[in-house]
Structure 1
Amino acid sequence: MSDAIHEGGCLCGSVRYRTTGAPNDTNICYCTQCQKQTGAPLPAFASFPLTQFELISGELGGYRASDFATREFCPKCGSALFWRRDGADYVSICLGGFDDPSDFPTPKYEIWTDHRIKWLTNIPGVDSYPGDN
């Protein structure tokens, strides 16, 4: 996967992006902010170094639900796209926005499992953390 190229975008197609190489990691976040932003009970992400990420087209909207990160989305269709920690050298990309999210490996870990919906259980073989890891 070191030479892989993955593209993705928002629902309306206004925002397009490209990543190269392998992600730093893949994960699931059950925090209530991610759940509310995406409308999904288990939002999944692939994190890439900024040097392996390119915004190809479109403009982003942003929202700060915390004092340490910005959640970015398409202002036209509302698709949740990116999570960026202030000052970090990586971007976490919503896995469902990739053209073929099944190309990515099983998540390495799941965080904020204390907020997981009760009918969901641990994913076998994936490290679980009740809060942030």
Structure 2
Amino acid sequence: MPSERKRDTSHDLHTGRCYCGALCISATEDPLTVAYCHCADCRRWTGSPLPAFAGIADAAVSLPKTDPLELSPGVQRWACGRCGSPLAARFAYLPGQT
């Protein structure tokens, strides 16, 4: 079982990680947007019929130091290159939010 990275999370309100624990994501603020999406792109990306997401101000989100995938116009997505877990996304229609 891979070991999780140790870091200071005392200021983080929300944290998450990929399945294998290689990548972490955190946010220091509450979401600006919380919604469900049923578009084909989000369903394919998550493998869910109705994925939920929370949009948090870009400046409050700590993303992995990996290049985002740009599989669809106007969408950047972060995923673990090791286990494939989707971690975060930025959408052109939600400017300033991750």
TM-score, normalization by structure 1: 0.58
Structure 1, unpaired ranges of 5+: 92-133
- Structure 1 residues 89 and 61 mapped into 2: Cα distance closer, same or farther (>3 Å)? same
Show the counterpart of 1:20: 28
Show the counterpart of 2:84: 78
Show the counterpart of 2:5: none
Distance 1:76 1:8 in 2: 16
Q: Deviations over 1:2-59 (max 9, x none)?
A: x87111111011111111121101111100111111111111101100121113xx54
Identity over aligned pairs, percent: 31
Q: Deviations over 1:61-109 (max 9, x none)?
A: 5332322111221111000111113593210xxxxxxxxxxxxxxxxxx
In proportion to residue count, which structure has more helix? 1
Amino acid at match of 2:26: R
Amino acid at match of 2:96: D
> After superposition, where does 1:1-133 map in structure 2 within 5 Å?
5-55=13-63, 58-60=64-66, 62-86=68-92, 88-91=95-98
Question: Larger radius of gyration, structure 1 or 2?
Answer: 1
Total equivalences in the alignment: 87
Contact 2:18 2:85 in 1 (8 A): yes
Structure 2, unpaired ranges of 5+: 1-10
